Chains A and B, each alone.
Chain A
Amino acid sequence: MNSIKARIKWQQGYTEIKVLLRHPMANGRAYTQHGGIIAPEYITTLLLDRNGNTEIVAHLSASISSNPYFDFVLQKAARGDKISISWLDNLGNSDNRDFIIG
């Protein structure tokens, strides 16, 4: 699985981290063409770690768009630091991916 994309821009003083996840974020309110309800499936927790320390925890609800996009900014990050991004959804699925600030 490769559901996590990130674009990390290091600048003096701060590091901008743009995160794009691939996920349906179904809220359980939408109907299929046949009238059935699409079961809720949404990311509940998104973690952003730097060198093993969690810097940002995001608790999401189903009213975040599908294929959610986030933009975070970290201070004090250095080139070569490891950024780990991971998510967990309400069905217990998860994914994580590491990036190196370049």
Chain B
Amino acid sequence: MRLTRRRFSKILGQFIGLGVLAGRATLAQEQTLAQTMQQLFADSPVEYSDQINIKIPHLAENSAAVPITAAINLAQVEKIWLLVAANPLPLSAHFTLTPAAVPRVSARLKMAKTSEVMVVVRAQQRLYFASQMVKVADNGCSR
């Protein structure tokens, strides 16, 4: 078959298409907060609790390490989830505690951009949350 201009551009288009697809495939997957919540908690109700204290700066100077402390004032805390709503994968960490552990954890999070930071807790078979908005000063996407 002769390689006409039209045919050439068609083949070229296919190659570009393949390249785009391959590029997509190598990128790590992404999830919205809603998808993550659905995956973690299915349809269980998650209610707000003022007994969850989140200590995190309102303005994060270094988005590659945002210090967070979550102290929970509830009895029988079994699990603590740390979520950053606007991150490509919102779930940062999840802790399983025995009764010997005090329900208080500190960690350092990476934040892609300004986002709500959410702490979800399971205590006495119920789910509670609290959240705080954190502004990111620098561009942390590349870290």
Instruction: List residues of A whose CB falls within 8 A of some B CB.
Output: 14, 25, 27-31, 37, 40, 50, 53-66, 68-77
In-complex Cβ contact of A50 among B87, B96, B97, B100 (8 A): B100
* A-B pairs under 8 A by CB, number: 101
Determine if B53 is an interface residue (Cβ-Cβ < 8 Å): no
Q: Which residue on A lies nearest to B94, using beta carbons?
A: A59
Interface size class of B (residues with CB under 8 A): 35 or more
CB within 8 Å of A: which of B40-57?
none
In-complex Cβ contact of B106 among A30, A63, A66, A71 (8 A): A71
Question: How distant is the Cα of A66 from the Cα of B65 in the complex, in angstroms?
Answer: 8
Majority DSSP secondary structure for residues of B touching A: strand
Instruction: List residues of B whose CB falls within 8 A of some A CB.
Output: 26-28, 64-67, 69, 84, 87-89, 91-102, 104-111, 141-143
* B102 engages A65 (CB within 8 Å): no
* 23 interchain pairs, CB-CB under 8 A: A27-B110, A37-B26, A54-B98, A55-B101, A56-B95, A57-B95, A58-B105, A59-B94, A59-B96, A60-B92, A60-B93, A61-B92, A63-B87, A63-B109, A64-B92, A64-B109, A64-B110, A65-B108, A69-B67, A71-B106, A73-B104, A76-B100, A77-B100
Residues of A within 8 A of B111 (CB): 63
Give chain B nearest CB distance to A75 CB in angstroms: 6
A-B pairs, top 3 by smallest CB distance, nearest first, are A71-B106, A73-B102, A65-B65
Question: How distant is the Cα of A78 from the Cα of B108 in the complex, in angstroms?
Answer: 28
In-complex Cβ contact of B89 among A31, A62, A73 (8 A): A62
* A30 engages B93 (CB within 8 Å): no
Given contacts A27-B28, A55-B101, A72-B105, contact A65 B64 (CB under 8 A): yes
